[in-house]
Structure 1
């Protein structure tokens, strides 16, 4: 079955998680697939962007098409037109309003566009059970195809050697952004990896760490800088909190530089306010690195638990009064913790327990190593979507709503 994958045409030097997902999906698709890059200011396309995409879709013939939701959800009229010709799938990496951090009237406008686009599609696919449930709550969309991200094989991270790991890698890192004074080489090393945007919630992590200045640690804040002014604001927050000598700002990392950073990392902190999955979480686990993530996002699921599965002990539905998910509240070891990042004291408490507690560090590391051996690859992801699309060919009334 030949298919086409339509993706946003963006800078390959600073890929988002959705960009990586799309690339891996195409690379592991079981049959013939062509990738078409849609130029445009997604998710805020111009009229010219819409015209170009319309021409692209009209020239694809009758083979199934999968469209990245960042593109599809902003142009419902084009999804409707495509679905009249061929099996059309919308792949939701993040809802438009949540992913962009839109609020008020702007969020309502994006939600209305997305609802219309998703209802027009023959299939809607997303990356976590949490996200599928969220689409149901937001838009009344049922029958969402669940295609969790795979993970590329990765070497085991030795860590800094200061947090129970066997390594002793240099922790200085690159210094491409101003406002840096290198992290402490002998201290446990934390990493947060993602675009420097308000949605990724770096400020909450900095505030939490300000309560830990009595302890040794270093933090690397790595990722693309879409807004230079906002990045400067974050650097200023770190400086005002007295953390300038603890935090490294290397900008976007890839290749050898990224692998070197992973190799010296002891803990990934991912306080993002909105995640359908959080591929960086499983990328950390693939290296044996535990993670701390935000409650109420798909990153909980990436941590290794199903937030909507109530059938067994591995669900999130057990009562948790203080909003904290970790081995102390669940009674079972997991590869880190999920915390309410709007409560900096809770994040500070969890990070202090990890920094000062050898048993906690050992338990989290052990759970991450165990999970490392159970993570699926991208071939499984591609096969799930391929099979769902194959079943839809020949007539579909679209997802139920």
Structure 2
């Protein structure tokens, strides 16, 4: 199987849900006996240069007729001039993390003309390829509604999660953790305002994520905290991975993710793998990722609204019984999270990509 990904997808300073998914999917496929060749290509997706498109074209032309090729949607959706002709010769599957034709709520997403261009290009690609993989049911629904695709061609393969040590939590519940780039799309401005409304309470926030996506926004975020006297209560740690990120989860009481759009939200399931409750925006695929227990969700899901976020934070920080209950639910949800083997199983249900290897367990037993 060929997998085409953005160049730099495995670089530590380019951490994103899509890049992590691509890395772990390739590794999990290899672990289960599927032969995988990974091809990093281009550098400016989703606004490719001529060189980016030429490099993608050369790669696809070099592959044998009939080869199954999974192309990351960040590449495929903006390259119809290359992907559509190649789809006549190759068995192409588009792996859609974030549909380019679905704008995030609450922030400008470019001109109407640019959005229309994205929608036109994405429609052309998705209607030409042999199959489509999405990372959530929410995304699948968006694509089916937007582009009227054949439902039988669209497979859902949610991200898995690795086992993790349980976060013990603290009595006061005031150690807050946000794992996301410091950007407006991830809602850090919303979180900042909500925390200002809760300045009378005891809390500390650690932000783990890139500070380079939008330097102007980062500076505005710092300035706002400083003018409100909260700079010493917020740590901007930058990108963390491996043991450092694991420790951040284990030292936290609550994951906060105020995103304006998430097609899944891998950091939410990573937090739950540590038994850590979550406070997230009720958008996109986040409710799906957070999931439910018999007693309710293992966290708080709120609208993208300053007042709602401030109320939710205050509720968490001032109600010990609620914290205890949500921690209990998080531990229950921890036991039901999917693995990367589950992700591989779902990916391989795409008819173009074949069937699970003989050693891979399926929901019905051994394949």
- Provide TM-score, normalisation by structure 2: 0.88
User: Per the alignment, in what secondary structure is the counterpart of residue 82 of structure 2?
Assistant: helix
Match in the other structure for 2:68: 64
How far does the alpha carbon of each residue in 1:110-168 deviate from its partner, in whole angstroms, 9 at most, with x for none?
Answer: 222111111111111101111111112222224221101100111111234532xxxxx
- Distance in 1 between residues matched to 2:331 and 2:266, nearest whole Å: 17
User: In the alignment, which residue of structure 2 is the partner of 1:9?
Assistant: 7
- Of the structure 1 ranges 119-128 and 251-260, higher mean CA displacement relative to structure 2 is found in 251-260
Asked if the contact 1:156/1:286 (under 8 Å) is kept, the reply is: yes
Residue 234 (structure 2) aligns with: 247
Rounded Cα–Cα distance in structure 2 between residues aligned with 1:379 and 1:159: 29
Deviations 1:307-329 (A, max 9, x none): xxxxxxx8xxxxxxxxxxxxxxx
> How far apart are 1:391 and its partner, in Å?
6.2
String of CA shifts for 1:346-392, please: whole Å, max 9, x gaps.
11111111111011101111111001111111011012112314467
Q: What residue number does 2:361 align with?
A: none
1:221 aligns with 2:210: no
1:139 has 2:101 as partner: no
For structure 1, the 5+ residue unaligned runs are 164-187, 306-313, 315-330, 394-401
* Equivalent-residue separation in structure 2 for 1:54 and 1:345 (angstroms): 49
Contact 1:76–1:120 (Cα < 8 Å) also in 2: no
Aligned to 2:168: 158
Q: CA deviation at 1:101?
A: 6.1
Q: Verify: 1:194 aligned to 2:180, yes or no.
A: yes
SS in 2 for 1:292: strand
**1:280 is aligned to 2:267:** yes
Q: 1:76 to 1:336 in 2, by over 3 A?
A: same
Question: For 2:25 and 2:117, how far apart are their aligned partners in 1?
Answer: 30
1:267 and 2:254 aligned: yes
- What residue is the counterpart of 1:102 in the other structure? 109
After superposing the two structures, state which structure 1 stretch, 198-207 or 231-240, moved more: 231-240
- In structure 2, the gaps of 5 or more residues are 356-367
Aligned 1:2-401 pairs, distance under 5 A? 3-10=1-8, 12-14=11-13, 15-29=15-29, 30=32, 31-61=34-64, 62-97=66-101, 98=103, 102-104=109-111, 105-143=113-151, 144-163=154-173, 188-224=174-210, 225-305=212-292, 332-341=295-304, 343-390=305-352
Deviations 1:6-54 (A, max 9, x none): 0101261122110110111111113111110012201110011100110
> Residues of 2 paired with 1:299 and 1:239: CA distance?
31
CA gap of 1:266–1:214, structure 2 versus 1, over 3 A, is same
Instruction: Confirm or deny: 8 A CA contact 1:203 1:237 kept in the other structure.
Output: no
Q: Please give the alpha-carbon distance, in whole angstroms, between the structure 2 residues aligned to 1:207 and 1:193.
A: 18
Query: SS at the partner of 2:349?
Result: helix
Please report how far the alpha carbon of residue 229 of structure 1 lies from its aligned counterpart in structure 2 after TM superposition: 2.1
In structure 1, how many angstroms separate the alpha carbons of the residues matched to 2:198 and 2:228? 11
Q: TM-score with structure 1 length normalisation?
A: 0.81
Q: Structure 1 residues 113, 271: closer, same or farther in 2, change over 3 A?
A: same
Task: Give me the whole-angstrom Cα distance separating, in 2, the residues matched to 1:201 and 1:20.
Answer: 21
Separation in 1, partners of 2:80, 2:163: 37
SS of aligned partner of 1:248:
strand
Would you say the 8 A contact 2:265–2:285 is kept in 1? Answer: yes
Q: 2 CA distance for matches of 1:160 and 1:235?
A: 27
Whole-Å separation in 2 of the counterparts to 1:9 and 1:127: 21
Structure 2 CA distance, aligned partners of 1:332 and 1:351?
A: 21
